[in-house]
C-alpha cells in the first residue's frame, strides 16, 4: 500500500497477512499489558481471538499493519468502515471508525504511527470515506499531540461512555424490553 522511510529501515503498510499473525499477537499482548497494568494474556488465547473474531470472515474489523522489511509487525490500526445514519449525501455517508492505533513502545517516534495513519487515510479515501473518527484517552497527551500534528481536530461536543457489568447485566434484564427479535422479511 505505501512505503515510508523512517530513520533506519523502511516500513511497509498493508492489511495484515497470515505470515504476520505471530508478530501481531506479540503486539496485541503488549497492547493488553498497556491497558491492564502489565497483565499479560496467554499468546494462544490472543491468537485464537485474532483468527476466530478479529479476522473472521464475518468481522467488520480490519487490521492495517506497519511492518519492517523482515515482516515483523511494529504497529497496527484496527478500524471499520460504516455508513452514517445522519449523513445522506453520497460523499458524506461512508465513514471510517478507527478503534485502535498502537505502535510498539520500542518503535515509537520512528514514523510507524504516521505511516499507519497515512495508510488508513488512503484506504478510507479509496473506499469512499471522507472522514475518520476515533476516541483517545484524555490522559494521552503524546497521542493527542500526534493526532493534532496530522491535522485532526478535537470534537468538543462528543463524549465517550461505557456500560459494563453489573450495570450492563441489569439493563439487559430490564423489563421494558422482551429481547431483540430477528428482522422479519
HEC profile of 32-68: HHHHCCCCCCCHHHHHHHHHHHHCCCCCCCEEEEEEC
Which tens digit of pLDDT belongs to each residue from 47-61? 999 999 999 999 999
Which tens digit of pLDDT belongs to each residue from 118-160? 999 999 999 999 999 999 988 889 999 999 999 999 998 988 8
pLDDT of amino acid 103:
95
Domain ranges, residue 90 = 2-172
CA 115 to chain centre: 14
Average pLDDT of the chain? 88
Q: Phi/psi of residue 184, each to 5°?
A: -90, 145
Q: Domain count for the chain, please give it.
A: 1
In a domain, 46, yes or no: yes
What is the domain-level CATH number for residue 125? 3.40.630.30
Higher pLDDT, 25 or 10: 25
In a domain, 108, yes or no: yes
In a domain, 156, yes or no: yes
In a domain, 182, yes or no: no
In a domain, 12, yes or no: yes
In a domain, 144, yes or no: yes
SS3 content of the chain, % helix, strand, coil (to 5): 35, 20, 45
Higher pLDDT, 41 or 180: 41
With 0.75 as the threshold, say if the pTM is over it: yes
Higher pLDDT, 73 or 85: 73
In a domain, 107, yes or no: yes
- Per-residue pLDDT band at 86 (split at 50, 70, 90): confident
Amino acid at each position: 500500500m505505501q512505503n515510508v522511510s523512517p530513520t533506519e529501515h523502511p516500513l511497509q503498510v498493508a492489511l495484515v497477512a497470515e505470515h504476520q499473525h505471530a508478530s501481531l499477537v506479540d503486539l496485541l499482548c503488549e497492547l493488553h499489558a498497556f491497558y491492564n497494568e502489565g497483565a499479560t494474556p496467554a499468546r494462544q488465547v490472543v491468537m485464537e481471538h485474532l483468527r476466530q473474531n478479529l479476522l473472521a470472515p464475518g468481522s467488520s474489523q480490519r487490521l492495517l499493519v506497519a511492518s519492517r522489511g523482515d515482516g515483523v509487525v511494529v504497529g497496527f490500526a484496527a478500524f471499520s468502515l460504516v455508513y452514517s445514519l445522519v449523513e445522506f449525501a453520497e460523499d458524506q455517508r461512508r465513514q471510517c471508525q478507527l478503534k485502535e492505533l498502537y505502535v510498539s513502545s520500542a518503535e515509537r517516534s520512528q514514523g510507524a504511527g504516521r505511516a499507519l495513519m497515512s495508510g488508513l487515510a488512503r484506504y478510507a479515501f479509496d473506499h469512499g470515506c471522507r472522514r475518520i473518527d476515533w476516541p483517545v484517552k484524555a490522559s494521552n497527551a503524546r497521542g493527542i499531540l500526534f493526532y493534532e500534528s496530522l491535522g485532526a481536530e478535537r470534537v468538543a461536543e462528543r463524549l465517550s461512555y461505557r456500560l459494563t457489568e453489573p450495570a450492563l447485566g441489569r439493563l439487559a434484564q430490564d423489563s421494558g424490553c422482551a429481547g431483540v427479535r430477528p428482522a422479519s422479511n
